[in-house]
Amino acid sequence: MAALALAPSHLASAAAPAGAPLKAKRTERFTVDESATTYESVTTYNNFYEFGPSKDDPSRLAHRLKPRPWTILVDGHVARPKRYDIDELMKLAPLEERVYRLRCVEGWSMVIPWIGYPLASLIKRVQPTSNARFVEFTTLLDPDQFPGQRTGVFSFSSLDWPYVEGLRMDEALHPLTLLTFGLYGQVLPNQNGAPVRVVVPWKYGFKSAKSIVRIRFVGDQPKTTWEKAAPREYGFYSNVNPGVDHPRWSQASERRIGEFRRRKTLMFNGYADQVASLYTGMDLRKYL
Ligand SMILES: Nc1nc2c(c(=O)[nH]1)N[C@H]1C(S)=C(S)[C@@H](COP(=O)(O)O)O[C@H]1N2
Ligand SMILES: [Mo]
């Protein structure tokens, strides 16, 4: 893939500082046959409201986030709850490089070479009990590191911090769901959710929570940040679906960052053959 081969020169010229290298073996089965979005765009065109609402706020303010030392509490309905140090968590399973599409609910998309391992590998270790029906992800709460969490800094109504996201248990266990520590051959840049985030490629990007400090196994469907902010616009499931429009815009097509023409949006972001069976019999208009 040309863009990947060019990664070193991108790193050299990119506005964002290059991070430490992170080795991983490419898994071809989970690599889309589309060229990757440039490193520059992946690291300077971001949504990370903890830093601010503009696309360049995260890369401009990313230096404020300190991704080491860092722990992730894994608890709730599990037989073996544990607080993991980030460096221990990174070594729980072999790191893979996977090239996934990312589709933002706003109508743009990218193709990103992530590094991580299936969230399922962590889930199996902590042994969820039969009461665990959903998994809740919580982002760091710290207004010193995240200026967007200070009250009154934006004119628009602020989100309810910390950022909370969630998945149903079978979604969390799905082999595509990636616990992610890096991209483009290096540790995750802060603006992309260092030191650890989740990536759920068949769902709108906001389901992929960044800078996670807690993974909790729960019985009830988590109340997620965007659902609380606007329930009719951002549902819990939020599967990419060209047939269900956002109340304020169409979801039928998307702008691939770096391309001129819009592309047709694919059902489940092109992962239908792998994930459609999770939703058999579910009304995806009702459960948006
Ligand atoms: N904690 C947190 N996670 C977040 C967000 C956010 O604002 N805060 N934005 C989401 C949205 S809307 C998208 S599209 C993706 C963007 O990921 P990227 O910047 O790495 O491309 O992160 C998601 N994860
Ligand atoms: Mo998004």
CATH number of 20-279: 3.90.420.10
Say which residue, 231 or 152, is predicted with more confidence.
Answer: 231
The predicted-structure confidence for 9-29, as pLDDT tens digits, reads as follows 444 444 444 689 999 999 999
Domain residue extents for the chain: 20-279
Mutation probe of ligand 1 site: the residue of 41, 47, 112 with most atoms within 8 A of C-beta: 47
Please calculate the CA angle 114-20-30 and round it to the nearest 5 degrees.
15
| Contact assessment for residue 138 and residue 187, using Cβ atoms and an 8 Å cutoff | no
- From the CA of 191, give the closest atom in ligand 1: 19
Six-digit token string for 87:
């460096």
Provide residues with CB under 6 Å of ligand 1.
Answer: 46-50, 102, 104, 139, 163, 192-193, 205-206, 208-211
106 C-alpha to center of ligand 2: Å?
6
Average pLDDT rounded to a whole number, residues 51-79:
97
The predicted-structure confidence for 168-185, as pLDDT tens digits, reads as follows 999 999 999 999 999 999
Ion ligand 2 contact residues with beta carbon within 5 A: 47, 104, 205-206
Please calculate the CA angle 135-136-142 and round it to the nearest 5 degrees.
155
